[in-house]
Structures are given as structure tokens and as C-alpha cells.
A = this chain, B = another copy of it.
Amino acid sequence: MSYDRIKVESLRDKVVTAEEAAKLFENGMVVGSSGFTKAGDSKAVLAALADRAQTENVQVTLITGASLGHGIDGKLAEAGALKKRMPFQVDPVLRKKINAGEVLFIDQHLSETAELIHNKNLPAVDIAVLEIAAIFKDGSLLPTTSVGNSVTFANEAKQVILEINLAVSEDVFGIHDIYQSEDYPRRNVIPIVACENRIGRKTIPFDVSKVSAIVFTNIPDSPADIAAPDEKTTAIASHILAFFEKEVALGHLTESLLPLQAGIGKVANAVLTGFKDSSFKNLTMFSEVLQDSTFDLIDAGIMDFASASSITVSQECYERVFNNLDKYRDKMVLRPQNISNTPGLIRRLGVIAINTAIEFDIYGNVNSTHISGSKIMNGIGGSGDFARNAYLSIFVTQAASKDDKISHVLPMVSHHDHTEHDVDILVTDQGLADLRGLAPRERAQVIIDNCVHPDYKEELQSYFDRACVRGGQTPHLLEEAFAWHIRLSEQGTMKK
């Protein structure tokens, strides 16, 4: 029976419908909600807020872990319920509202949101909405498929709405590692020295007097869309695997490499899938999201342990993992995102980071977020946390797309998320550019030689050559730097 999930019996009279709980939101409030890459998000209460906002003026600032599932962000945006949103989103309806200036969006490094809240560099959180699997006798909360910023929201919010998701078994107990750093100026070390280290509690310590409503749901997470590898992603993956093999042959890495981080998407999936037929073994992962490929590698006996902040997988994989938790419990851990993504741990563990670019330029600067300088797609997510601090920072993208009308390798990126300082390796389906130890002018030639689509090679070489004549450490022709983007906007193609 569902009430068994509330083991503090006095709280059972807090159970209400989602509609009733949604009445607690007031116009102008700051709301903190669980949810990280569609995992462990609020399924009912935020949806009820969207419904309420259709007829009432109730507009909030919504802070989550990362993206939400079930189209909730779109419903909230459509209903006018969002004034401001952070730190990440992937919803097409919300994206449109953000780019129209109707919703204000703050694109944040995912490790930083909890820090900003805790340090009062963001407004106080009025109300938290947290999906959980159970409330334990000591008042502590058992998260579901993600941890995200829930620990911070539970600590910092003035009141808390709990969503108990009966679709998630209490068997998830033990897959989470709940730890937060101390307050300034007395912050201690985070004592993780290997992916598999558990340093905290299994549940979120919580003051139950802050509970203002409890809502039951029984809705699984939105499944991940796993695109099958195609010719381009397979080419990218094979370039990366060949690179790793070379590094092992040189003695720079062992066949266990170092802990892997992979951004979401089909390229990362193709790379990880590629490990299945390789000689690498005893791999580990220190990432933000565990995807299908992670569990495939665990099942294949190639990956020993995976640490992240959420599990975002296909329906098939979801059933495989959550119906067999005993098999996976000692092979994975979910951490708060200000631990999974914290710079100090990424450098300490020596993470190999693989993330997706929208475009990159001849000097190795990467745009992960914006189309033609202005319009955001999703957000920077954790890519900056990992790329800056990684042992190796790899970015991947296709060389060209849309019938090759768009080149993803450009004279200058139209928006900078990762500067050349933070990028070691660039990969397209055309090839791999190893930028380590290269000065900008050397980088440019290697990128032009290895990464750009043949249709754009001559013009990119011409840009670089003519810029070099004018001089500089990173020679540019500012009057032409965005000519390709401008052509795309005016003529529908970057081609001359």
C-alpha cells in the first residue's frame, strides 16, 4: 500500500492531490525541483502548476537539476508559468519562448547551481518539489532515478512538496551517495579518490517540518531517445577509439584508460558502444548521466563502475536495470550534481571528457549551445565542468549537416562556451585533430587538414591564410569572421 512509503506516520495526513499541492505556488516564487536529464523529475505537481497557470497569473522562477521529461517544461512555458528558468532545458516549446524573450533562461555550469543557491548568489528557494521513492522513519528522503540538486533544495527551501513515485521501487535504496560540502569558510575536502568511493548517506537528511504536501504518482521517467549509430557517428567513434589505442600503445594510458565522462547523445552512445568490441577493460565512468551504453558495458564485463547524478535510459534498459538492482547496486552510484560535476574531483580523478559541440572554429573554440550567436538550443550543461578540468577534453560534431549546407567547422564560432584553452581533441566524421601542445596557428592547420568537410576546406584555408597575412596570435578577419553564418541566414546555406 502506498502509504507505507511514508514511514513518518504523522506525515500521512499531508497527502493531497497534485492540484491541491499546486495551490501552494504563489506568483513570483522561486521553485526548486528535482529532475536531471528527464530522470527523477516531478511528474504531477509541476504539471498541475501548468494547468493552474492556464487560468491564473502564477509565474515562478524554476530551478532544477537539469532537463525535465514528459514535456513539463513545454507545458509550463506554454501556460506562462515560467518567469525565469535555470540551469538547463531541452524542451522545444520552452526553447522557443526563451528565444522570443518571453522566458528568461540562465545557462549554468551544472556543478554551480547548488553552490550559487547555498552561497546566496541566487534568490532563496521558496518551495521545493522533490520526487522521492519513500520518506524514512528518521525523516530522510530516498531519491529515485536522479539526485541532481535535490539535496540543496531539501536543505534550503522554506517549504517542500514531496512526490512519492510508486513506479520506482524502494529497492533503489543504496544506489545514492548523499554528501554535501560544509559552509564557507570551514569547507573540508570531498574525500572521493576513486569513482566507486561512497562518502555519504544513502538518503537525504531532511527536516520533515518543512513538508507542506505529499502527492502520490505512478509514472515512469520519460525514456531516453537512443538514436542508433549511423555512418557519421560510427566514423567519429572509430576516430576516438583509434586515438585511445594509440595513447595506450605510447604508454600514456592503460587499457583501463581513466574515468570516462560522456555527454548525452548519439555520438557519445556510439563511442561507448564501440568499446564493446575493443581490447579496453576495467573501464570506469565519472559522469553526470548513465545511459544505455553504460549498462551495456557493465553487462559485457568491460565497465567496472559508473558514477553520475542520474540514470536516463531507454524503456528496455530501464526495465533491465530497475528489475535487477541487486546486480547493479555495487557497480554504480548516483551523487548530487555539485559532487558528480565538481571541478576538483574531475581533475583529481583525471577524467576523459567527451562532449558534443554545435560548432567549433579554426582555433579550437567550441560553441555548445547557440545557433548563429543568438538562439539557444539546450544549454552548456556539465560540459564546461568536465572540459575545463579533464585529463583529456574531447569535443565531437559532424563536419557538415543539412545536405552539407551547414559547416560545423568555422572561421569563428558565433558563441563561445569552451575556449581554446579547454579543448584538447576535436573530432568530426572527417577525422581527428589532436591539438595538444599546438599554438593557435598550428591548431588551425591541423583542424583544416583533419576535421572540415571537403566542400568548405578551400574557403576555410583561404580565411586562415589571409588572416595570417594581417597577423596576430589568433589571426582573424573580423569583418569576415561571421560571413558563413550570415550567408546561412540570408541564403539558407553557408556555401558561397
A: which residues have CB within 8 A of B? Answer: 84, 98-101, 104-109, 112, 115-116, 119-123, 181, 184-191, 193-194, 250, 252, 256, 258-259, 342-345, 347-350, 365, 370, 372-376, 380, 384, 388-389, 391-392, 412, 414-417, 419-421, 424, 436-439, 441-442, 467-468, 470-476, 478-479, 481-482, 485-486, 489
Give the shortest distance, in Å, between A116 (CB) and chain B (any CB): 7
Q: Is the CB of A105 within 8 A of B473?
A: yes
Q: A324 to B187, alpha carbons, bound, how many Å?
A: 33
How many copies altogether? 2
Question: A250: which B residues are within 8 A, CB to CB?
Answer: 120
Q: Is the CB of A344 within 8 A of B348?
A: yes
Q: A481 to B376, alpha carbons, bound, how many Å?
A: 17
Q: A48 to B348, alpha carbons, bound, how many Å?
A: 39
Residue of B nearest to A373 (CB): B476
Question: A104: which B residues are within 8 A, CB to CB?
Answer: 439, 441-442
Q: Is the CB of A345 within 8 A of B348?
A: no
Give the shortest distance, in Å, between A182 (CB) and chain B (any CB): 9
Question: A189: which B residues are within 8 A, CB to CB?
Answer: 189-191, 193, 348
Q: Which of B106, B376, B473 contacts A107 (CB 8 A)?
A: B473
Q: Is the CB of B374 within 8 A of A471?
A: yes
Contacts A116-B436, A120-B252, A421-B384 given; indicate if A485 touches B474 (C-beta within 8 A).
no
Q: Is the CB of A415 within 8 A of B474?
A: yes
Q: Is the CB of A84 within 8 A of B439?
A: yes
Q: A415 to B442, alpha carbons, bound, how many Å?
A: 18
Question: A414: which B residues are within 8 A, CB to CB?
Answer: 476, 478
Residue of B nearest to A104 (CB): B439
Question: A347: which B residues are within 8 A, CB to CB?
Answer: 115, 342-344
Q: A441 to B486, alpha carbons, bound, how many Å?
A: 22
Q: A375 to B380, alpha carbons, bound, how many Å?
A: 28
Contacts A389-B343, A472-B370, A478-B372 given; indicate if A187 touches B349 (C-beta within 8 A).
yes
Q: Which of B98, B252, B470 contacts A119 (CB 8 A)?
A: B252
Give the shortest distance, in Å, between A341 (CB) and chain B (any CB): 11
Report which residue of A98, A100, A106, A389 has the largest number of chain B beta carbons within 10 angstroms of its beta carbon: A106
